[in-house]
Structure 1
Amino acid sequence: MKKLCFGTFATILKKCMAKRVTQKRLCGTMLLSIAPTYDISGEDGTVSDLILGKKIYHP
Structure 2
Amino acid sequence: MFTNLKRNDIISNLKNNKFDLLVIGGGITGAEIALDATAGGLNTAVLEMHPKSNLHL
Structure 2-normalised TM-score? 0.28
Structure with the largest fraction of helix: 1
User: Normalising by the residue count of structure 1, what TM-score does the alignment of the two structures yield?
Assistant: 0.27
The structure richer in strand per residue is 2
